[in-house]
A and B are shown apart, each in its own frame.
Chain A
Amino acid sequence: MACFLIPAAEAVVTTIATKALSSHEKKAENAEKTVGEAPAKMSFSAKLKWLDGMLWGGSALLAFEHIWHGEIIPVFPFLTNAADPASAAEMLREMGTAGVGMAALVTAVWGVMVGISRVIEKRSEKTEADVK
């Protein structure tokens, strides 16, 4: 019905966070460069972009599915189920269950991806240290 709006809303928040974090990290990186050493690890903002990509991409394709099923229309109120109160209540219930579930699953998978990337980074750091 409109479940994709929850991941889309999360995508807006994470994109703003990514932009803010990215500029903060660039400033810190420039300060570090004056000292002499460049950061070897992938920045957190770069990892946050993975979440942005999954949320925006998934929301876009799901929005297309809703257009396909005639649930999104080009005129106000844009969502066919928002027109009458009974359908609107059902739509909100679906947003609260499936929509939140989608956002939670995508975020959880991203969390696992970040965890695995940290393990790989630590392993490569250890290998480099062993070589030295």
Chain B
Amino acid sequence: MTLLITVFAAIASTVVWYVCPKRSEMRLGTLVLMFWGASLMWLVDAVFEYAELGAEYFSPAPADMLNDAFLGLCAAALGLVIWLGILLFKDPKGVIKNTLSARKK
């Protein structure tokens, strides 16, 4: 479930990156790369787990599935928070800079 949720997050962010004309300004590439990187890493994890468990891998216990889904959603949220942090730190539109300079005045 974690892998599945991250893959969906990666696909959704890639679509947004493709259609958004301000992709560079909004640093959408960072978000896309982060989700795809995590998806690929969890894919390797899944392959190793499948090699160990066999077909059992595809029939997890409901409690495990729920925990994995919750983890996947939290990981996606963390990815978005990291992206937001980078965006605000880089401040491409100078919003934070302007706000701070306005406060000083």
**Residues of A in contact with B (beta carbons under 8 Å apart):** 3-4, 7, 50, 53-62, 64-65, 68, 97-98, 101-102, 105-106, 109
- CB neighbours of A3 from chain B (8 A): 41, 45
A57 CA to B32 CA, complexed, in Å: 9
Contacts A7-B41, A102-B44 given; does A54 touch B36 at CB 8 Å: yes
Interchain CB contact under 8 A, A54 and B33: yes
Which of A50, A54, A55, A62 is in CB contact (< 8 Å) with B42? A62
Interchain CB contact under 8 A, B33 and A57: yes
Interchain CB contact under 8 A, B34 and A61: yes
Nearest CB in chain B to that of A60: its residue: B82
Which of B35, B37, B79 is in CB contact (< 8 Å) with A55? B37
Nearest CB in chain A to that of B49: its residue: A98
Nearest CB in chain A to that of B51: its residue: A97
Min distance, Cβ B100 to any Cβ of chain A, angstroms: 28
Nearest CB in chain B to that of A53: its residue: B33
Interchain CB contact under 8 A, B38 and A105: no
Min distance, Cβ B1 to any Cβ of chain A, angstroms: 12
